[in-house]
Structure 1
Amino acid sequence: MKIAAAQYPIGYFGNLEDWKINIRGWVASSEDAQILVFPEYGSMEMASLFSGQIQKDLVGQIVKMNELLPDFLANFCQIANEFDKIILCPSFPVFENGRFVNRVFVVGPNGLTGYQDKFFMTRFEDEEWGISSGTKKLSVFETNWGKFGIQTCYDVEFGIGSKLLCESGAEVIFAPSCTETLKGAARVHVGARARAMENQCYVAVSQTVGDALWSPAVDINYGYSAIYSTPDLGFPDEGILAMGEPQKKMWLFANLEMEKIHEVRKNGSVLNFKSNSAIKNALTDSEIEIQHIRI
């Protein structure tokens, strides 16, 4: 299975048609990749379609953006059908049940297939932007080539979501992300590599790049895409399948072989995935003593 992870700059558009043309151009340039992943909050460029007053309003712009959600979904569904792709759309601040959630929609040749909400909010999302944690539901997406789940940005820095997804059959975790600094990007990539190792799976990171100084939400972006594996049997020594040049507008491609995931989980030098579940079960009913030793 060939995947493509976008290093995606936040654009500025004069009208909706220009935005549609941009998205179509990206998908058209994705070669023969079967699954495409766009980054977290890549949809925020649609706020450029509103007045300058709305563009500067951190909360007001996501209120208005929900008026464009039908166009957003229709465009991605049409393009996925035209190019015969599975697309993880850039995450969208969806207003639902009286709150905003950070949602990644997944579309395919037959239309909308499902979504994954972000669980863990950053301080900016929670304290300044008013984005809330989504419903605690994890989705495993099944394709002809394998199964995948989504852990959006901060979510991949914690082990629980990826563990549950992989225990439910996922061989690939996609991690769309939006970070401002090298430190922020590094936290996501460190988390992604840890998830790849402990679950003996693939993890693909897609990040926003460059500046969009007109936007108070996604004004500064530092990022690079990468596709990781566990550093074990059949994989690169450091577990890096591919890594993009930071801050460059591009697709990053990699071919994923699910047979290698099954093999390393069965016959790897270590059995992180198997041991992860076994350790949890073994420790559930065990009392672990903590010692305080003064030196």
Structure 2
Amino acid sequence: MYMQNLKVATAQYGLADAESDADFWSRLGRKLREAVAKGANLIIFPEYVTAHLLSHQPVMTHEEACRHLDAYTSEYIAFFQRYSRELNVIILGGTHICQEDKGYVNKASLFFPDGRIEEQNKLHLTPEERNRWPLAAGDKLNIIETQWGRWAILTCYDIEFPELARLAGESGVQLVLCPSYTDSAFGYYRVRYCCQARAIENQYYVVLSGMVGSLPDERPQVDQGYCQAGIFTPCDVPFSADGIIQAGELNRDMFVIAELDFAKLHANHKQGVVAPFYDRRRVYSRELRKMRIEEC
């Protein structure tokens, strides 16, 4: 039997000039305690959160930045494992650049109080991530079993691909976590509107986190962020017409906090005015494949 209610705190993480590594980790710890004090069971940080560690370093090339950030991997894991256990909370530790056999990856890690870690490499890399960092793309969607049902992590650009989000839905996912980093309104609204579209199409919850603000000194990797984090639902009963449970104040350093009721999600599947996840016609994919064969 799954638990029905989950209180989520998703971060609009404010970039500021971290004077040292200790300053960065201490600030993260304070934010975690703040969210737990407000009753959060799940805390979500944005994509590239550890890139904030570059703020007090000399300007680096992207390759140098990858090597520098990878050196923090053990500390990153130990930090979030410790806080997850001590505060008895699930934490999505944003994403972190680390090295694997195929190269550097942009990896999201979800930490559970019992010590379990679920990982998801970003599957769709932006042109900048492919060509300038450079990073290697993931090749598998991790379906995560929890007390509240199945979850998945679609990092930033990943949410812009409907077929990936549909795969999550077909795997029984009820909650998608979307850690993001967008440095302009253009990038933000692409991700934001796709989060809402995926929630409508697949009739599940989507939670968006991102960075806001700017660093005093420009860094070529992370120097400014633009975001309004949010918690999204289908635009149908028993939810609100706009499909928004809660959204933050644009570009303010803050947590967006709301409770997810999975009983409402189940009610939407059964009693919604429309059911786009169930009413889709699978014949489309067969016809498209046939057309491609005939074109060849």
TM-score of the two chains, using structure 1 as the length reference: 0.91
Question: 1:143 and 2:146 equivalent?
Answer: yes
2:51 is matched with 44
> Which residue of the partner structure matches residue 255 of structure 2?
251
Q: Is the 8 A contact 2:238 2:268 kept in 1?
A: yes
Spell out, residue by residue over 1:219-264, the C-alpha distance to the aligned partner (whole angstroms, 9 max, x if none): 1211110111011110001111111111100000111111111121
Is the 1:7–1:248 contact (alpha carbons within 8 Å) kept by the matching residues of 2? yes
SS at match of 1:252: strand
Deviation (angstroms), 1:165: 1.4
* 8 Å Cα contact 1:103/1:117 also seen in 2: yes
Residue 240 of structure 2 corresponds to residue 219 of structure 1: no
The 1:267–1:58 alpha-carbon spacing in structure 2 relative to 1, beyond 3 Å, is: same
Q: Offset of 1:46 from its aligned partner?
A: 1.8
Q: Distance in 2 between matches of 1:209 and 1:253?
A: 17
Q: Does 1:4 align with 2:25?
A: no
Deviation at 1:140, TM superposition (A): 1.9
Q: Which residue pairs with 1:292 in the alignment?
A: none
Do structure 1's residue 283 and structure 2's residue 284 form an aligned pair?
yes
Are the counterparts in 1 of residues 111 and 118 from structure 2 also a CA contact under 8 Å?
yes
SS in 2 for 1:91: strand
Structure 1 position 110, deviation (Å): 1.8
Query: Contact 1:39 / 1:177 at 8 angstroms: preserved in 2?
Result: yes
Q: Deviation string for 1:141-167 (max 9, x for gaps)?
A: 222223211110011011122211121
Letter in 1 for 2:154: Q
Equivalent in the alignment of 2:75: 71
Counterpart of 1:204 in 2: which secondary structure?
strand
Deviation, structure 1 residue 49: 5.4
Q: Equivalents in 2 of 1:138, 1:285: separation in Å?
A: 23
The whole-number CA distance in structure 1 between the counterparts of 2:286 and 2:190 is 32
- Count of residue pairs brought into register by the alignment: 283
Q: Give the drift of 1:65.
A: 1.3
2:132 maps to a residue whose letter is: E
Aligned ranges for residues 6-21 of structure 1 at < 5 Å? 6-21=11-26
Pick from 81, 101, 120 the counterpart of residue 97 of structure 1.
Answer: 101
What one-letter code is carried by the residue in structure 1 that aligns with 2:286? D
Gaps of at least 5 residues in structure 1 are 290-295
| Matches of 1:151 and 1:75, distance apart in 2 | 23
Distance in 2 (CA, whole Å) between partners of 1:49 and 1:69 is 18
| Partner amino acid, structure 1, of 2:284 | L
CA distance in 2, matches of 1:122, 1:258: 33
Letter in structure 2 aligned against 1:19: F
Q: Distance in 2 between matches of 1:180 and 1:65?
A: 20
Aligned pairs (5 A) from 1:148-163: 148-163=151-166
Query: Could you tell me how far 1:5 is from its partner in structure 2?
Result: 0.6
In 2: Cα distance, 1:100 partner to 1:244 partner: 32
In angstroms, what is the RMSD of aligned CA positions?
Answer: 1.7
Query: What is the correspondence of 1:121-200 to structure 2 with a 5 Å cutoff?
Result: 121-134=125-138, 136-200=139-203
**Could you tell me the TM-score, scaled by structure 2's length?**
0.91
Answer 1 or 2: higher relative contact order, Cα 8 Å, separation at least 6.
Answer: 2
**Secondary structure of 2:255 counterpart:** strand
Following TM superposition, by how much is the alpha carbon of 1:44 offset from its aligned partner in structure 2, in angstroms? 0.2
**Which of residues 16, 28, 39 in structure 1 aligns to 2:33?**
28
| Structure 2: distance between partners of 1:157 and 1:125 | 16
**Aligned partners of 1:174 and 1:11: how far apart in 2?**
24
1:230 to 231, 234, 241: 234
What are structure 2's unaligned runs of at least 5 residues?
A: 1-5, 292-296
